[in-house]
Amino acid sequence: MTEPTHDLDEAIHLDREALALHPPGHADRSDSLNKLAIHLWSRFEGTRQMQDLEEAIEIDREALSLRPFGHSGRSNSLFNLAIDLRSRFKQTGQLQDLEAAIELDRESLSLRPPGHSVRFNSLSNVAIDLRFRFEQTGHLQDLDEAIELDREALSLRPPGDPNRFFSLNNLAQGLWSRFEQTGQLQDLAASVELYREALSLQPPGHANRSDALNNLARGLRSRFEQTGQLQYLEEAIRLNREALSLRPPGHPVRLHSLSNVAINLRSRFEQTGRLQDLEEAIELHREALSLQPPGRSDRSLYLNNLANCLLSRFEQTGLQDLEEAIELNREALSLRPPGQPNRFLYLNNLAYGLHFHFKQTGQLQNLEEAIELNYEALSLRPLDHPRRPASLINLGETLYSRFKRTEQRHNLEEAIELYREALSLLPFGHPHCPDSLSNLGESLHSRFMQTGQLQDIDKAIEYYREALAICRAGSPLYIPCLAGLSRALLARFRAIPREDDLNEAFYMFSTATESRFTDVGQQLLGAQSWVQSAREFQHSSLLSAYVQCLALLQRGLAISPSLELQWKSLTRNSSSLAVDAASSAIDKGQLNVAVEMLEQGRALLWSRMKGYRQPVLELRAINPALADKFETVSNELEHLATSRLRLEDDVSGRVPRFTTAWDDQWKKQRVLSDEWNEIVGRIRQIEGFSDFLQPVPFGRLKQAAAEGPVIIVNVSSYRSDALVLRDDTSDPTLVPLANSVFDEVGKLSEVLGQARRRGEDTLAAVIHDVLCALWKLVAQPVVDQLQSLGVAERSRIWWCPTGKLCSLPLHAAHPLITGERGLPDLFVSSYTPTLSSLISARENIPAMRSKYPQLLTVGRADDSLRCVDAELDGIQELGDFVDTIVEKQATPDAVLDNLQTHPWAHFACHGHLDDEQPFKSSFKLYGGSRLTVMDILQSRLPNAEFAFLSACHSAAGDYVHTPDEVLHIAAAMQFCGFRGVVGTLWGMADDDGPVLSQEFYKHMFRHDDPTKVDYKDSAVALRSGIKALRKSGVPLHRWAAFVHIGA
């Protein structure tokens, strides 16, 4: 940010006039040169215009030439030229300028012996020069000498001296730098005390108070890093905030204070997990960056700071923050070309982001670029450089990642050597020690797995223990160290079975997942490691591990503001967690627990959204204000979850970048989530509401079987089973399935998925084998059990499949052998995504009606859907209670408006399935408009009862990434209020629509009495329609596409 220079401009103009009056040879020319150079330098300090600095240097050189050895003003000219050259060094990084400045300042000091009136100025300047050179070369003797010079300078400014503040600050800075290099706590303690005295000399109102506040805050931050005592960081933040208040908008160095506050807030976030700190840090860093226009070399620092915060947040937000961080780091590095001071820092930071990107995407080119950047950074940090350990660690981490990817042993060996060197350069307790120790532990563990050398695993365990001894519980490394130690102990247990190692390993796993101040993502990784290990060793803690995993998965979802981001999080983390947990409970004979785990760990997105719509009528009677508050905050969270944020193109055209609205969305989510959790906590404290929005217990879940058996089919790689729930029994009935079910279902899902994409002919070719396999693998064992339980034929049954079984037509399973019956012949099958959704579909049933339900039909015909008109005309003949909207009337808004007043709905149009973005799956309506899953789930339809979705793929969801989330159009219709839904698992034939709908509605309206028309007849009505299709010779793949969902 540039300063107004009007006064300086005028002074320089007058200086030039004066100099013109003192031509070469004039006795006063050197004085005029001096004045002009000082003003040019001052203007450069405000504008950073290099031509002013270059001219100042040339003028000061001439002035110095006019003041030879013995001249009384030589020391001043030496002093001024040294300042100019140091300024140019700070801009260009040319070390020869700094060397020349040191030489000039030393000569100036020699001309100001002890007792000289301004000796302290030369002492301070030489010390400043030496500190700069130390930062470039790492030569500790420069820093030691600088400290001694600053001590002497301070002694010349005793208490009461108006300039004592500057000497206190300089000495404190030197001691702090030496502490950073050596870890000597006495230097840090002395530095903090000096900074405190300096601050005491700058009371409120003093012009330099903001500098003093920031300096002391820096020392306190270092003390926090050494001790882990949060009060030091809290005080640092308080001091930084006061400094910021003294630098309001428009202040020339406001951006420094913005950055200082933000850096410490990010540190507090890493300790406490308080997202509001990270959000504020990002906001402050964005403001600081806005004050540094493109092209300024100083801008690189602020780009780097913002990038670091975005890297901290990307675990919650996904790749967009990571990609923005990488772009910021690329820009920062471009402002630090070869030869610029601190280029190594920007090389390392860009490499860090690229390494993370590789870990997320597996793109090897990002890892290779990171390795190349880290090698260059290390080359800029020679053996005695104070920051060499950080570069060694960074390079080691990327090489280790390449080893994990390629299994090339030389990468592992080099990583180990780099970590060892870093550790040898670090004093005990240094902030980088835990990194080196934990990295060494992990690398030696990997080498043990390669070679079986016990000394490697023993040493790995030792290093992990040392790291944990230094790590604080809130440190980002704490959870990885605990999990790493657990894995290492188990590795040693495999080689030498010692119960102590086994017990300690599982204790560490438990500790890792229960830690209060840590990243949820890291905890989830630790819990998943716990699960895998408990499975392997058949440890008694397995169910506890699964319980923690499921809870952490739900906690992690609460962080993300939108459904799309929550879904992306699930694609990375959920996998088969719920079904595997249930299989573990089944192993232990705890069938009720298995049912509870499946309910808790599946359809998480629908469950969370349903929680926002939880009825509070009973609560309102007791505490209306709290009920209102719950509904208000829930509505805001639901709106946030379903909102779409527009992207703004980056000026470079390279990466779409979210505006600050993206940051605001995350901040709003965190604030609202905290408030919502607090409200829910208050509700649970009210008598009779202790289970409000708690995981549903089995005693409540079994009510799903009130109107017929519910069969949960749990398909896990560990075991597969059916659990039959009946209203007349307290516990589920277990139907063990063949060990091959998991693999076979996976193959069937893949075969059917490919056929669905390739078209009807391929589908027709594979459907026979699919239905036969489903009969043999799943349906027949369940049918046998149902028959042995006395369940009458043609009874209604409900299927609750899991995993990739959700994509398969289980309802149509059939032996397809002449004379033998299949599932459609024996029972009336429906599906339910979860037990809770089926229970909800039967609750709060509207009062008995006195007339037929209003039925809305929606149609969009085209050349490929020629039968839509016939389908809708047939329904229209039912009576005047049928309303039809077609063609221009059939817009998304019109459809949603009409659904408010029509409890029944029938869609006859194209359906679109989006596998990669399931919330964009849709009905295709007039003019290319689409009614998407996201549009539907935003609706609230309290009067809705039944919907017939005569459209392709209307009950087909994401069966690749998150099959247990059941994300499809039919599920969205059920969520927004429809109690029963008919949909399709794949594309339907246009010719089938009129035939099926005619038979369907013939059954639904078979009674002349409107009071007998019931949406619960829809499953039987669908069976009647399908029976008609089968009799007419419609092939398997066409009638098997239709499914019934709900009550």
Q: Which residue would you say has higher pLDDT here, 1 or 954?
A: 954
Confidence of residue 887 (pLDDT cuts 50, 70, 90): confident
Model confidence pLDDT, tens digit, residues 519-574: 788 888 889 999 999 999 999 999 999 999 999 988 888 877 888 888 888 887 76
Write down the pTM of the prediction.
Answer: 0.79
What distance in Å separates the CA atoms of residue 32 and residue 39, rounded to the nearest whole number? 11
Smallest Cα–Cα separation from 908: which of 863, 954, 868, 956?
868
- Beta-carbon neighbour count of residue 554 at 10 Å? 16
Q: 765: domain CATH number?
A: 3.30.420
| Model confidence at 212: pLDDT above 70 | yes
pLDDT value for 557: 84
Q: Judge whether 872 lies within some domain.
A: yes
| Model confidence at 935: pLDDT above 60 | yes
Residues 868 and 1003 occupy one common structural domain: yes
Confidence of residue 346 (pLDDT cuts 50, 70, 90): very high
pLDDT value for 644: 67
Q: What is the DSSP pairing of strand 980-984 with strand 1042-1046? A: antiparallel
75-91 mean pLDDT: 92
Q: Report the number of secondary-structure helices (H) and strands (E) in the chain.
A: 45, 16
Identify the H or E element spanning 885.
Answer: strand 882-886
Residues 882 and 778 occupy one common structural domain: no
pLDDT value for 646: 43
Model confidence pLDDT, tens digit, residues 778-834: 999 999 999 999 999 999 999 999 999 999 999 999 998 888 999 999 999 999 999
Residues 867 and 981 occupy one common structural domain: yes
883-893 mean pLDDT: 93
Residues 397 and 453 occupy one common structural domain: no
> How would you label 403-416 residue by residue, b for 16+ Cβ within 10 Å and e otherwise?
beeeeeeebbebbb
Number of domains, the chain:
5
Residues 767 and 907 occupy one common structural domain: no
pLDDT value for 228: 65
Contact 302, 256 (CB under 8 A): no
pLDDT value for 1018: 97
| Model confidence at 654: pLDDT above 50 | no
Model confidence pLDDT, tens digit, residues 263-274: 999 988 877 767
Report the half-sphere exposure of 1035 (CA within 13 A, side-chain side): 12
Contact 86, 95 (CB under 8 A): no
In the three-class reduction of DSSP (H, G, I as helix; E, B as strand; rest coil), residue 336 is classed as coil
pLDDT value for 47: 82
What distance in Å separates the CA atoms of residue 24 and residue 353, rounded to the nearest whole number? 57
- Beta strands across the sheet bearing 710-715: 733-736, 720-725, 710-715, 796-801, 828-831, 1042-1046, 980-984, 946-950, 904-908, 855-859, 882-886
Angular region, 731: left φ>0, alpha ψ -120 to 50, beta rest: beta
pLDDT value for 755: 92
Report the half-sphere exposure of 581 (CA within 13 A, side-chain side): 28
pLDDT value for 339: 81
DSSP per-residue letters across 887-952: GGG--HHHHHHHHTT-SEEEEESEEE--SSSGGG-EEE-GGG-EEEHHHHHT---TT--EEEEEST
CA distances from 390 to 175, 300, 515 (A): 21, 19, 27
| Model confidence at 648: pLDDT above 50 | no
- Beta-carbon neighbour count of residue 652 at 10 Å? 10
Could you tell me the residue range of the domain that residue 736 belongs to?
A: 698-837
- Beta-carbon neighbour count of residue 521 at 10 Å? 17
Q: With pLDDT > 90 as the criterion, what percentage of the chain qualifies?
A: 72
Confidence of residue 2 (pLDDT cuts 50, 70, 90): very low
Examine the fold and report which residue of 372, 397, 425 is the final residue of a domain before the chain moves on. 425
| Model confidence at 397: pLDDT above 80 | yes
Model confidence pLDDT, tens digit, residues 705-762: 999 999 999 999 999 999 999 987 789 999 999 999 999 999 999 999 999 888 889 9
Q: Judge whether 395 lies within some domain.
A: yes
Q: Which residue would you say has higher pLDDT here, 284 or 226?
A: 284
Q: Judge whether 267 lies within some domain.
A: no
Q: Encoding tokens for residue 568?
A: 């992306």
pLDDT value for 181: 76
Q: Which residue would you say has higher pLDDT here, 948 or 566?
A: 948
Residues 629 and 732 occupy one common structural domain: no
pLDDT value for 862: 87
Residues 519 and 405 occupy one common structural domain: no
Identify the H or E element spanning 368.
Answer: helix 364-379
Residues 923 and 982 occupy one common structural domain: yes
Q: 328: domain CATH number?
A: 1.25.40.10
Q: Judge whether 281 lies within some domain.
A: no
What distance in Å separates the CA atoms of residue 722 and residue 823, rounded to the nearest whole number? 15
Q: Judge whether 531 lies within some domain.
A: yes
Q: Judge whether 29 lies within some domain.
A: no
Examine the fold and report which residue of 513, 541, 569 is the final residue of a domain before the chain moves on. 541
DSSP label at residue 847:
P
pLDDT value for 4: 55
Instruction: Give the burial class of 580: count Cβ atoms within 10 A of its Cβ; 0-12 exposed, 13-18 middle, 19 or more buried.
Output: buried
Rounded to the nearest 5°, which phi and psi values hold at 582? -65, -40
Residues 827 and 749 occupy one common structural domain: yes
Q: Judge whether 974 lies within some domain.
A: yes
CA dihedral 314, 319, 321, 322 (to 10 degrees): 80
Residues 898 and 1032 occupy one common structural domain: yes
| Model confidence at 516: pLDDT above 90 | no
CA distances from 449 to 32, 487, 756, 770 (A): 75, 12, 44, 42
Cα of 148 vs its chain's centroid, Å: 48
Instruction: Give the burial class of 4: count Cβ atoms within 10 A of its Cβ; 0-12 exposed, 13-18 middle, 19 or more buried.
Output: exposed
Model confidence pLDDT, tens digit, residues 116-143: 989 989 999 999 999 999 888 878 899 9
Lowest mean pLDDT across 369-373, 389-393, 453-457, 755-759: 755-759
Q: 430: domain CATH number?
A: 1.25.40
Q: 971: domain CATH number?
A: 3.40.50.1460
Model confidence pLDDT, tens digit, residues 981-1024: 999 999 999 999 999 999 999 999 998 888 899 999 999 999 99
The C-alpha angle with vertex 381 and arms to 379 and 383, in degrees rounded to 5, equals 100
Q: Judge whether 1016 lies within some domain.
A: yes
What distance in Å separates the CA atoms of residue 970 and residue 958, rounded to the nearest whole number? 13
DSSP label at residue 865:
B
The C-alpha angle with vertex 962 and arms to 975 and 798, in degrees rounded to 5, equals 55
pLDDT value for 196: 97
Average pLDDT over the chain, rounded to an integer: 91
pLDDT value for 661: 64
Model confidence pLDDT, tens digit, residues 903-913: 999 999 999 99
What residue has token string 């820093």?
143
| Model confidence at 594: pLDDT above 50 | yes
Smallest Cα–Cα separation from 851: which of 1003, 1012, 1001?
1012
What distance in Å separates the CA atoms of residue 73 and residue 118, rounded to the nearest whole number? 13
Smallest Cα–Cα separation from 510: which of 476, 542, 550?
542
Residues 638 and 714 occupy one common structural domain: no
| Model confidence at 251: pLDDT above 70 | yes
Instruction: Give the type of residue at 1026.
Output: I
Examine the fold and report which residue of 395, 425, 455 is the final residue of a domain before the chain moves on. 425
Residues 927 and 797 occupy one common structural domain: no
Confidence of residue 330 (pLDDT cuts 50, 70, 90): very high
Instruction: Give the type of residue at 686.
Output: I
